[in-house]
Structure 1
């Protein structure tokens, strides 16, 4: 009798645990990134966020719950992804991504291209790049990747000549010729647009320029062309790269609907790169 009672209690307890633990498929949960029922995507404020709002809308139509976590800097979205606070991020160029991965020892991986934000040169004092005076103060981003990109843009605009082996991580020390004695001032990328009035001109990333109210194709005095090598990307933790939901997110982002949205909303200031 006692033995029978013990066996009966064991069966009851097992049934309760099974009901509480449940079959993940029956409770609406899945393994991996969607263990909590939603995909958390890190993005920077501005155009990236606008595009992801469209992706989120498309996801809802397919039953994918996407939550956006908006950042105002270029470092934390990768740190948050590495630490598992978010599942995916979409905000950065490949050179910057590679640099962050190497410097911080992150195990992140690129899974797709997104859009290109042509970097532009802006000014509140002149309307033509040729009107820059000798000794003009010119701002550029202080982080190595965007600094090198800005210097390449200055060279393309005819302001300077860089050393032949300068590369994408060039600094102002790699300037070989500066015939007009321009003063180059390195500033935080997110602050340059706000400090433009104190400068004669500055190279500003498109997302920060647009956040400040500029229309890049109209307000810049010089801008990268469509051949810019600085396409942005979607990144995930290496362990997550093969998950089905990652491919679903990529398909949503690289859809005809998102491409049409980018073309209509940004009028060439942001370019679909897939």
Structure 2
């Protein structure tokens, strides 16, 4: 009897140890999501709260530039990023020989012309200094916005790849100054106006209703931001869970309450 009990004890010890090790080795599912500081990161944080309810831990990594999140995603330092429109994503892929993909729409963010000196494009003086983003896609977008406002005319067919060399008519002889997108809000006092994307408008505390003198239409194609992933993880369960959380009613309500219609869901 004693031998049998002793044998049971020896069997039980490794069994309990195995169970303990099994419990300790169970890994929590974690995804790293890159976003530019401001509304993109804020909405991802709201989505992270929803994702947690589904057993997914989201680590938000903030960036202050437009290239960092895509580089980090391509290098597998991130699992996803949320901060760009699809033309920008395609341009990055073409230039960097990467194949990042969109896995769903994010938010609608309109670019606008902002000024601390005038109330409308018509008030801009001859020779006014106008800032535009210096990255390829948003630079062209800014030029198209200036054209839509009646300030310049671009070469036919230039599209969103337009550069300052594509300006064929500039009645007011505007001086176009290319700057880092994040620097444009801080440079408004030195400029007469600037074409600024909405994420930097909001992170800088600009007021579209007061400083925005001309805004993109709500159906502007480059205003639709996307959630980006890599081909190797785009169909993973974790990515699907994050997209589901991002597209939740709770996140939609957060956007409505936080941004009062300035930013709206794109889904």
Shift of 1:100: 0.6
Q: For residue 229 of structure 1, what is the aligned residue in structure 2?
A: 221
Q: For residue 209 of structure 1, what is the aligned residue in structure 2?
A: 201
Per-residue CA distance 1:113-136 (angstroms, 9 max, x = gap): 111210011111111221001111
Does residue 85 (structure 1) correspond to residue 77 (structure 2)? The answer is yes
Q: In structure 1, list runs of 5 or more residues that go unmatched.
A: 1-14, 30-35
Task: Tell whether the 8 Å contact from 2:116 to 2:211 is kept in structure 1 after alignment.
Answer: no
CA distance in 2, matches of 1:19, 1:44: 44
Shift of 1:60: 1.9
Shift of 1:167: 1.4
| Aligned partner (choices 26, 29, 32) of residue 28 of structure 1 | 26
Task: Tell whether the 8 Å contact from 1:134 to 1:182 is kept in structure 2 after alignment.
Answer: yes
Indicate the SS of the match to 2:188: helix
Q: For residue 63 of structure 1, what is the aligned residue in structure 2?
A: 55
CA distance in 2, matches of 1:266, 1:248: 25
Shift of 1:79: 1.0
Cα root mean square deviation, aligned: 2.1
Indicate the SS of the match to 1:198: coil
- TM-score, normalisation: structure 1: 0.87
Per-residue CA distance 1:8-32 (angstroms, 9 max, x = gap): xxxxxxx89x959x76x98433xxx
Does residue 239 (structure 1) correspond to residue 237 (structure 2)? The answer is no
Does residue 265 (structure 1) correspond to residue 258 (structure 2)? The answer is yes
Task: Tell whether the 8 Å contact from 1:28 to 1:37 is kept in structure 2 after alignment.
Answer: no
Indicate the SS of the match to 1:240: coil
CA distance in 2, matches of 1:160, 1:188: 21
Q: For residue 167 of structure 2, what is the aligned residue in structure 1?
A: 175
Q: In structure 2, list runs of 5 or more residues that go unmatched.
A: 1-13
Indicate the SS of the match to 2:95: helix
Per-residue CA distance 1:58-113 (angstroms, 9 max, x = gap): 12222211111111111111111111111111111111111111101113111111
Shift of 1:267: 1.7
Task: Tell whether the 8 Å contact from 1:121 to 1:220 is kept in structure 2 after alignment.
Answer: yes
CA distance in 2, matches of 1:148, 1:120: 13
Does residue 254 (structure 1) correspond to residue 247 (structure 2)? The answer is yes
- TM-score, normalisation: structure 2: 0.89
CA distance in 2, matches of 1:159, 1:263: 33
